A and B are shown apart, each in its own frame.
Chain A
């Protein structure tokens, strides 16, 4: 079972060196060592996003994110976990490591 673990941010600015170190330790010692690791990555700020809509035939490009909001997706993990209890426990530790709010959603 895989879960998308989204990092929610509301402050401009990426992770501090301390947060980065905590994230790396969490990735190595917990996710990779225990077989939960699938993929993870940090994202550029929403202002670097481009929305593309080809439904009308021709691609239309729009500068900026699809949704303007105070909170945005700053990065994510994809983890392997037996069930939601395991995923929530990992997410709780991940939230502490990156010092951000986190959302957990199952892949279908």
Chain B
């Protein structure tokens, strides 16, 4: 086996086995810190040994065994130092030991612990990327433009809180499950969105590493909770959005709106998979949650080969449904964009103007107004609105797009 093949095998094992190894060690030793360190050491050992010894027939089992040994070594070392507290402070877990084979549940425990509502949102994101996705601290720090030491501290503090405040290592009860699942999905959606439209001016406008990671984690949750409609909805939404990624930024680094995108460059395989998931949820006949409705809207857009074939009445109907369960001003803004196509820009502008008191600090509000004013022929007002949008937007590709649009005004 060539070195390249071995390297690929390690990468693949990292993708497939990291969360499993961390989860099973956390379960066995009751300590996230020990589990994380031992897992990292096991992968480092694989990088060292596999080129000479060959890739083991079952990489996952090899990594788990190696990590277990590393963890036991560490606990022995610390016990020798008289640090007996370690054992007393093991993570709390009141379920009886499960038979081997229930490994998938262990990964779910890990995810729910990392996304616990008693942790700050940014902490949940960092912890999930480290413990479940296996990104390194420097990688996570780079992804969110935070100093490495600060990110390291954030993760260390979170692990200490989980241990000291006794955040349980288990899948929540049926009664709490819907709220907790939606908490997990919020973390994944945030990671995806940061990748899809990076907020800062100092990164690439589209961060494929983050969107890919978010999709990978959502696929994992989908495999673990195949019956959950919102999990399927979020995965579909991500796939249908990711399918348009390459069409979304032009060669000159400018954001390309949905209307102007070259639909031939959309990823047909991702669209097909997304549509399958949306159909599956429709067939389930259960009232959809917000991710399922957003996915359905995305499915309508991606079903149109030409923007002129878009079924706007369907899009508006779906937004009406969404406004019902999520009456946020941002949803209302997006609904207005669809209304412009169905009832004309004048009706849409009236709806957008009603959102001023809540969205005046949001760049997309001004960008939407600017576009509607332009279409209605109010050049001067449109120019001012573009100016405001440019001022507030952080994404470089979006700023480039808005600037060109403004400069094209007569």
Contacts and interface: CB of A to CB of B under 8 A. Distances in A.
A84 B94 contact: no
Nearest to A108: B164
B94 A82 contact: yes
- Which 10 pairs from chain A and chain B are nearest by CB? A83-B168, A83-B166, A106-B165, A84-B167, A83-B92, A84-B165, A84-B166, A85-B168, A1-B166, A106-B164
A88 interface: yes
Size class of the B contact interface (CB-based, 8 Å): 10 to 19
A17 to B, nearest CB: 32
A2 to B, nearest CB: 10
B118 interface: yes
Nearest to A81: B166
A88 B118 contact: yes
B288 interface: no
Contacts of B116: 84
Size class of the A contact interface (CB-based, 8 Å): 10 to 19
Contacts of B164: 106, 108
17 contacts: A82-B94, A83-B92, A83-B94, A84-B118, A84-B165, A84-B166, A84-B167, A84-B168, A85-B167, A85-B168, A85-B176, A88-B117, A104-B165, A105-B165, A106-B164, A106-B165, A108-B164
Contacts, number: 28
B234 to A, nearest CB: 24
B329 interface: no
Interface of A: 1, 82-85, 88, 104-106, 108
Contacts of A104: 165
Nearest to B176: A85
A82 B165 contact: no
Interface of B: 92, 94, 116-118, 164-168, 172, 176
A106 B176 CA distance: 22
Contact of A83 (B117, B167, B176): B167
Contacts of A106: 164-166
Contacts of B165: 84, 104-106
Given A83-B167, A106-B164, A1 B92 contact: yes
A88 to B, nearest CB: 7
Nearest to A89: B176
B19 to A, nearest CB: 22
Contact of B92 (A82, A88, A105, A108): A82
Given A82-B168, A83-B166, A83-B168, 18 more contacts: A1-B92, A82-B92, A82-B94, A83-B92, A83-B94, A84-B116, A84-B118, A84-B165, A84-B166, A84-B167, A84-B168, A85-B168, A85-B172, A85-B176, A88-B118, A104-B165, A105-B165, A106-B165
B184 to A, nearest CB: 15
Nearest to A82: B94
A1 B166 CA distance: 8
Contacts of A82: 92, 94, 168
A83 B92 CA distance: 7
Contacts of B166: 1, 83-84, 106
Contacts of A88: 117-118
A106 B168 CA distance: 13
A1 B88 CA distance: 12
Contacts of A83: 92, 94, 166-168
Nearest to B164: A106
A105 B161 CA distance: 10
A18 B19 CA distance: 50
Residue among B94, B116, B166 with most chain A CB within 10 A: B166
Contacts of B94: 82-83
Residue among A85, A88, A105 with most chain B CB within 10 A: A85
A104 B118 CA distance: 10
A82 B92 CA distance: 8
A51 B156 CA distance: 34
Contacts of B167: 83-85
B127 to A, nearest CB: 15
A104 B161 CA distance: 12
